Structure 1
Amino acid sequence: MRRIFFLSFLFLCAIGFSQEKKVSYATMISSSSYMKEVEPLVGKKLIPEEPREGEVNPKRTSANKIVPNKGLPKGPDALLLKQKKASNTRISSTPSLVFETNSSTVSPSDPTGAIGPNHYISAKNSAFAIHDRNGNVLVPSTSLTNIFPGESLGDPIVFYDNFADRFVITQFSETPNGFLVAISRGPDPVNDGWFTYRFNTGSFPDYTKFSIWSDGYYVTANKDQGQQMASEVVYVIDREQMLAGVDTAQMIGFPLPGARIGGFYSPASFNATGSTLPPEGDARIIYFQDDDWEGVSQDALKLWTINVDWINPEQSTITEAEELTVSNGNITPFDSTFDGGSFANLPQPGSDGQDIDVLQGAVMFATNYRRFCSYNSVVLNFAIDIDTRQDSDDISAIRWYELRQNGDNQPWSVYQEGTYTSPGGKSAWCGSMAMDIFGNIGMGYTTMGTTNDGANQDSFASIRYTGRLAEDPLGTMTFAEQTIAVGTDVDRTTRNRYGDYAQITVDPSDDQTFWHIAEYFESSGNNARNIVGVFKIAENIANDVGVVSIDAPDDATFTTSEVITVTIKNFGTTTQSNIPISYAVNEGTAVNEIFTGSIASGQTASFTFNTTADLTGGTASLITAETNLVGDVIPENDCASKKVANLLPNDVGVISLVSPNSGGGLTAAESITITIRNYGGSPQSNIPVFYTLDGGASVNEIFTGTIGVGESAQYTFIATADLSEFASYTFQIGTELTTDEDANNDVISRVIEHRLCSPTSDCIRFGDGLSSFELSNVSNRNIECGDGYADFTNMVINLDRSIGVYTLTVQAGFAEGDAERLSLWIDYDDDTVFEDEELIIDNQVIAEENVNQTFLFSLGDEAPLGTHLLRVRAGDTNTNNGADLNEPCGSMQFGTTHDYKVEIGENTNPNADLTVFSQPNKQFLITMSDPNADDILRLSVFTITGKTIVSNLVEKDANSRFTYLLDMSYVSSGIYFVRLGSNKTGKSAKFSVN
């Protein structure tokens, strides 16, 4: 019987392991701030989409620090010749279906989409659409606010959870920072409604990617750059709770220990595809490291392992795992750096096309994982520079990998790697790849002609695909390039950004057909178009059947005679009958029987073994099942496995503290709500529960309801808790069932912080509150409403008490008579309480809506120097009876409350010149001070011929100073130029390297 191997000795021979691995525990343990049930879309009056305005998911940060000319390879990419020799000998079939999902006046349009059994959902920027399997529109492109009430900030991700038969749509949130996740309440995204969750992340989680694993949905984010080894940048959210629509779903956050990156980065988590989930735990995060980057000595693929403990989440860990490098022979050198790290890279055809983004620094979405009988596989790709011409980074290719794991919990290694570029010298980038049930790979991507030197084709950005069969020569894409859509124009959105995402998904109906969505440009109508192409790589196979799932038993209190039921599928073209089939428990003796029915091509059938299984030995059992058809062409897809728990009859425990949550406005009589779970094999009722506060007396009560096997329920204590003081409070919560047989899950501890109050209000219905705020050096426009409160304390306003009068400029979305008003405080004594004597602007009228309104104020000579909190509130005082606006922690019915930081100085007059200071060993310190400059400026370093060799974003510090240490130790001597500024204005300086 073939089965997945579990050989522990393989740990000892893992290639690329270092002796000391950094292990970090979870740095964040939290839960969703809300869950909203959203009614079905059918028959609903849908809010139309609105064109996105202002900044577009700006990749919010610097690029990695580049050391010019440091990295390898110095010549041509070593894998490119191998691909060219393959010459794409296999003939691709044309797409079986091509349809446009939506269009936009703005790029990147963030195309994302996924196929389910009966629907295709796509999304862009701040809108989504639903089509049937023939591309017919069921829900036209419409605002994300229809499933995320009041919010359409965008950067969505769509995926189909094949293991639960649900669709998921996400987007990020900026008030407060975090992301939103909507899960369809059934398999029909039009008729079944949605569960919508908000998760807060502290700082902004830019460029999020979502993946499916057995114990959660995994999220990676371009967040807290330079602090990724200490601050959480990877999250796991409780998939099981969200699918069940639990009011508060758990989330755990992790850093990336040992990640040698300093700027923009986009790691990925493995995304489970196929019909069988991996076992819980051993989830992988992967990212590449380029030896062009400061602090990186060699090109590498670096992996981390996450093991989540939902019962004791503080024990959840992330550990450095494999590091697959050039020196240990796992990978071939690559150059992933374009134009010194800037986001303007590939020139478009013609003189009127600006350079567009190659998406450097990103492992492209998604990193798709699939299980086979004797190994697990994952495929990934990213863009690399293959232009060998001097002073040019104009041609990109796709570096792609297949990694394999010889069994669960074993190390990963490189099975094959390749470099793919489009025929005719065109660039290829923005790839997305996946593997079908046979192990064949399909890859969709973007191509574009980049020069007119005779060797390269002159072509606009277009969408193509290629692929390879599992038995083809390793490291090559063997199918001839095929076209989904041909572009007819350059990107005319006046930005240099492109796509941000492309996405390929595998059709669950046959597990063979690929659906790819990407962005290209048309010369008529909305310039940026999102197009779907449907294609298949697999050849017809006559004889191929396999077990796709083990349907029974599920977790239970087992007996010695448990029934084993599986689903068999015919992947081949020939009807099959009398199929040998077997199962084994914990790799023991196989039970062999015959499925005597018939299964037509592409169909499934259920089979129950006559021989039952004894599952009473131990706390869990691994069941493996497979078909053994004589002449089966692809034996690697014949099997499935399932781990089932032998539950104790009586076992209940506590999962989470639902409320209160850390934040503001906690009172002297806070309700305490917990979630209880039945981990045992028998229903339970009349469960004793308790909580303690800061080690005090136990509050004991009874949950009188009934909780079924594997189910959860919430309980709110009658006794409340006093949390009125600003402080940290430690709760111990638990269950005390007298017959409980496992105490390990009975009690958990949680810390709740009463912080600065954050009152919420309605700013959606009539547009009350501030949509724009400008003061001194801070300009915060197009403010999203959210729940009425926003934390903008990452924005520091520079004020000088020697300046007589300041002008505050705001806009509000509502004004009627003298109803809409504004108040502003500065917390001079830093006690997080806004007192009357700290009220700077008092209840002033906002006379016109959506028009700049100005208010004058002075700090005075006695204003305390240093950093303080600033709070501004605006709202309808007629509805709020006037008083609530000037109660800084009071909830308003209609309006907004926003917090900023102010840095108060005196007689500050910094030097605004750009200066380059030479340091030893060809290091250069670049500085500039300017309180009136934007918070983040672009720094670029050029050669004398004009080639960009360094491009980065530099952030202003608290003293209005910009600083950047430039490493030029690998460049040749000569004259260089540096510029620091925005797209329109900036300062330049010349310096020499000797």
Structure 2
Amino acid sequence: MIRSRRRRGHRPSSGRGRIAALTAIVAVAPGIWLAAPAAQAAAPASDHSTASAHHSADTGPAVRHDTSPTLRAMAARAHAHPHGHHSKRPQDDDPGEDRLPHPPASPVPDPVVQSSPGGPSAPSTGTNFEGIGAGNYSITGVPPDPNAAVGATQIVETVNTAYAVFSKTGSTVLAPTDTNTLWSGFGGNCESTNDGDAVVRWDSLASRWVVTQFANVRSSSGPYYECVAVSTGTDATGSYHRYSFEYANFPDYPKLSVWPDAYYVTYNMFTASGSFLHGEACAMDRANMLTGGSATQQCFTTSSSYGGLLGADLDGSTAPPSGEPELMMSLGTTSSSLAYWKFHTDWNTPSNSTFSGPTTLSVAPYTTACGSSGTCVPQSGTSQQLDSLSDRLMYRFAYRNFGDHESLVVDHAVTAGSSVGVRWYEMRLSGGNPTVYQQGTYAPDSTYRWMGSIAEDTAGNIALGYSDSSSSAHPSIRYTGRLAGDTLGTMTQGEVTAITGGGSQTSYSRWGDYTSMSVDPSDGCTFWYTNEYIPSNGNFNWHTRLASFTLPNCGSTATDDFSVAVDPASGSVAAGSSASTTVSTTVTSGSSQTVDLSASGLPSGATASFSPASVTAGNSSTLKVATSSSTPAGTYDITVTAKGSSATHTATYTLTVNSTGTGGAITNPGFEQGSLTGWTPSGTTSVVGSGVHSGSYAAQVGGTSPTNGDSSIAQSFTAPAGTSTLGFYYSVTCPDSIWYDWATATLKDNTTGTTTTVLAKTCPSSAAWSHSTASVTAGHSYTLTLISHDDGWPGDATYTHYDDVTLS
């Protein structure tokens, strides 16, 4: 049915983003650099000066959060009403991308150079198709920052200002769209600017997409923002829980990594004028972000001697051992070292969080590529050289738990004779500390190779992708690899060219700034590599390419195997109530097998049951965790173990138990009196016995038939001693869009007179239960108002179920 009413729109601000319009770009003379910080004195071999570091000033709650409409709906609206996008300034006028502190570039012998190619065998190439680029998106800046992640059925690619979704056969699911479209209706800089440095990851433990982009309005003096979106399901075109975190300084070059206890993001922090300050690492509250609840971040900084940190980024469905801290790494301060930190996050008691390091890890000597400028990569047909970005490790620092060992791989660009090669490492954890298991510099001939990305498949094979160029060849995209049992330190596979570039970048040195090697979670064997190339000489005509391949012994010799995941990955209950999650299994190789399910790590007084207790791999079960009234308050990591005949895998379900099932000073907090006793209703309200979060009843605010305006329930209470957090669950039925219908909630501190929006306006695509929290002060009087808004339009009634209001 065609709806005739006129839609209300929004007008984005004209604020200047991190990347300028093309007219501004061409007006800048190339080669103008602002001063980069000088490298500091070398750190001692084991410098734990930050072991007891205090949180940085950026620690704190997200300044905004909500749940979006579907991305496909927001993108359709954006394509129907295009408003342009901000474009990235080239590096020559971007102080935020100055060189970082790095080891001295004085030449040293490289003892691990591989100076000849691998054998005649080569990775088996599968799908190879065009990503975002000049053929399907308006290009107004360099570099593109190509990055991609692979999910259950889709691939998501981001470049500096755009986002696209593809199928695994290369068909377009969502055409290239300005990345800030993902924050339409969110408000603030995340919506009004499209600043770039976007990163996308697939959270393999929760089967969710995570997308980040900063919103910095570089012409201002701050504050600056990182925008984070976590999908509500496996469909990348669906709805997202959206967050905005604030920073006092310019957070450049953000890099996202997934770990069970947090989403970790690392930055190079600059002043507004372009002076490098330090590296910074932030942990964002993954458990709450998966449910759309209020979330905080905890941040620590390095000294000014370090930048370009990368956090360990989980591949596969086997989580690291429970409680293992996030490992972070950067180049060291000498030409034979890397540096690492351990980030332990305690969400219950943030003062117990630690960021220990730097600790020096000795590696084979290397010389950072291209001297102090980093720029020396030649191209055919032009004198313009390209930047090697040799002052930092290249994204990702990929982690995989093989059960009998934990492995991490990473790479960076180094001098290799008269050219540039890719230094790569496989590290293994021993006693929680990284040791170098193998390392090599891939430089089989005089061609320059740089801008690498590396990962491991489920068989322990390693794939390495990179750009290559020379004075007689345009930049192209290549990859190689090695098998798990091959001679250490050597890429034994033949080199494959995904696409040969037809042109060179003629005016600007910045290339990349990074590429992306990912592993398909559906089989654990298929690598997907994403990089840029140029079809003809020029500057703003770059394209990107996505190519898949497998290494010989993964799919062919793999035994019967499977993966396990939980969705949702976390939940919150009042003591005495129950929480449920779906445990899904997927065949990753061979044939299906019977999988027995069990749970451990339960809090006192809690029990776990599976329905069914055994499944055939490829099927799902429901886990129900029942707490008792005596279950202590706290957050617990419950390990779900899936044991098959040929393999055993685990997943983690995080359960938060609130201190009381009665809501403390709140009357009828779970509406179990079967009425709204204790609450003040307004508009259309009722108590329902279906569609509840727990127990027998929930409140329904709004009606199943259209209503016009706000309906609400409200209650005043005094926060008892010992309480600090208010929480509640909500489930919104909203068939329209957030422009017209929504759920929201406010909390007024009657003692101070201030009002907080606990739940920002939300209109999700599905009526799933979500959790929202807010801080309270013991002894203060509050009024909580739970609201549902419907514009009365026929046929799309909006109403909200609320349940389980708690004080903890």
TM-score (norm 1): 0.55
The structure 2 residue matched to 1:438, chosen from 459, 473, 485, is 459
Give me the whole-angstrom Cα distance separating, in 1, the residues matched to 2:301 and 2:122. 45
Q: 1:718 aligns with which of 745, 750, 767?
A: 750
1:483 aligns with 2:483: no
Asked whether the equivalents of residues 59 and 207 of structure 1 are also in contact (C-alpha less than 8 Å), the reply is no
Corresponding residue to 2:412 among 356, 367, 382: 382
Partners of 2:408 and 2:428 within 8 A in 1: yes
Which SS does the other structure have where 2:413 is aligned? strand
1:123-162 matches, cutoff 5 A: 123-148=158-183, 149-162=191-204
The verdict on how the C-alpha distance between 1:266 and 1:699 changes in structure 2, with shifts beyond 3 A counting, is closer
Query: Cα deviation per residue 1:699-755 (whole Å; 9 max; x = unaligned)?
Result: 99997x96699xx986322333599xxxxxxx9943579xxxxxxxxxxxxxxxxxx
Tell me, yes or no, if the aligned pair for 1:376 and 1:405 is still in contact at 8 Å: yes
Letter in 2 for 1:428: R
1:286-305 equivalent positions in 2, closer than 5 A: 286-291=329-334, 299-305=336-342
How has the CA–CA distance of structure 1 residues 520 and 51 changed in structure 2, closer, same or farther, with 3 Å as cutoff?
farther
> Does residue 169 of the first structure (1) align with residue 204 of the second (2)?
no
Mapping 1:323-342, distance limit 5 Å: 323-325=360-362, 331-339=363-371, 341-342=372-373
Matched, 1:250 2:265: no
What residue is the counterpart of 1:405 in the other structure? Answer: 429
**Paired residues for 1:604-683 under 5 Å:** 604-606=618-620, 623=639, 625=641, 627=643, 629=645, 638-640=648-650, 642=652, 647=657, 650=660
Query: What is the CA–CA distance in structure 2 between the aligned matches of 1:702 and 1:581, rounded to whole Å?
Result: 37
Provide the C-alpha distance between the structure 1 equivalents of 2:749 and 2:579, rounded to a whole number of angstroms: 40
Q: Distance in 2 between matches of 1:626 and 1:355?
A: 53
Question: SS in structure 1 opposite 2:193?
Answer: coil
Partner SS, residue 147 of structure 1: helix
- AA in 2 matched with 1:201: Y
Amino acid at match of 1:135: G
- Whether 1:465 aligns to 2:494 is no
1:349 equivalent in alignment to 2:391: no
Stretch of structure 1 that moved more, 219-228 or 152-161:
219-228
**Alignment-derived partner of residue 316 in structure 1:** 353
Letter in structure 1 aligned against 2:429? Q
- Measured in 2, the distance between the counterparts of 1:501 and 1:238 equals 26
How far apart in 1 are the matches of 2:527 and 2:177?
A: 25
2:420 maps to 396
- Residues 596, 613 of structure 2: 8 Å contact kept: no
**How far is 1:102 from its partner?**
1.9
Counting only pairs closer than 5 Å after superposition, residues 502-541 of structure 1 correspond to structure 2 as 502-523=515-536, 527-537=541-551, 538-541=554-557
Opposite residue 415 of structure 2, the aligned amino acid is D
The one-letter amino acid paired with 1:223 is: M
Distance 1:334 1:568, change over 3 A: same
CA contact (8 A) 1:322 1:412 kept: no
CA RMSD of aligned residues (A): 4.7
Deviations 1:87-146 (A, max 9, x none): 335332123332232233533111122222233222222222222232222332232342
- 1:58 partnered with 2:106: no
User: Residue 299 and residue 229 in structure 1: after superposition, are their counterparts in 2 closer, same or farther (change >3 A)?
Assistant: farther
Is 1:219–2:265 an aligned residue pair?
A: yes
Contact 1:580 1:627 survives alignment (8 Å): yes
User: Which letter maps to 2:367?
Assistant: D
Separation in structure 2 between the aligned mates of residue 200 and residue 617 of structure 1, nearest angstrom: 36
d(CA) in 2 for partners of 1:522, 1:24: 49
CA contact (8 A) 2:147 2:516 kept: yes
Deviation string 1:377-428 (CA, Å, 9 cap, x unpaired) is 21111111113x5xxxxx1111111121247xx222222212112x442121
d(CA) in 2 for partners of 1:424 and 1:690?
70
Partner deviation per Cα, 1:186-210 (whole Å, 9 max, x = no partner)? 3365652334332221111111111
1:701 touches 1:717 (CA, 8 Å); kept in 2?
Answer: no
5+ unaligned residues in a row in structure 2: which ranges? 1-43, 184-190, 603-611, 666-693, 699-713, 732-743, 756-773, 781-808
Measure, in 2, the Cα distance between the counterparts of 1:193 and 1:174. Answer: 24
Indicate the residue corresponding to 1:571 in structure 2.
588
- The equivalent residue for 2:328 is 285
Q: 1:662-811 to 2 correspondence within 5 Å?
A: 689-690=718-719, 715-721=747-753, 733-735=776-778
Specify the alignment match of 1:23 in structure 2: 52
CA separation of 1:653 and 1:435: change in aligned 2, threshold 3 A? farther
Cα-to-partner distance string for 1:597-638 (whole Å, 9 max, x where unaligned): 996xxx6234799xx999x99986864735463xx5xx6xx4
- If asked which structure has higher relative contact order (CA below 8 Å, sep 6+), I would say 2
**TM-score of the pair, normalised by structure 2:** 0.67
Contact 2:571 2:579 in 1 (8 A): no
Q: Aligned pair 1:93/2:124, yes or no?
A: yes
1:44 matched residue in structure 2: 77
In structure 2, what is the equivalent of residue 743 of structure 1? none
The separation in 2 between residues aligned to 1:144 and 1:646, in whole angstroms, is: 33
* Counterpart Cα distance in 1 of 2:505 and 2:580: 60
Q: CA deviation at 1:479?
A: 1.4
- Compute the displacement of 1:23 (Å): 2.5
Indicate the percent of aligned positions where both proteins have the same amino acid: 24
Distance 1:562 1:192 in 2: 24
**Partner secondary structure for residue 426 of structure 2:** strand
SS of residue paired to 2:132 = strand
* Rounded Cα–Cα distance in structure 2 between residues aligned with 1:649 and 1:690: 13
Aligned partner of 2:707 in structure 1 is: none
Is 1:548–2:591 an aligned residue pair? no
**Residues 527 and 163 of structure 1, relative CA distance in 2, 3 Å threshold:** same
One-letter code aligned to 2:154: H
Within 2, Cα distance between the matches of 1:91 and 1:209? Answer: 31
Partner of 2:112: 79
Amino acid at match of 1:95: G
**Candidates 143, 151, 162, aligned match of 1:108:** 143
Checking the alignment, whether the CA contact within 8 Å between 2:421 and 2:449 is kept in structure 1 is yes
- The residue identity in structure 2 corresponding to 1:385 is T
**In 2, are the aligned partners of 1:374 and 1:406 still within 8 Å (CA)?**
no
Matched ranges for 1:930-969 at <5 A: none
> 1:940 corresponds to which residue?
none
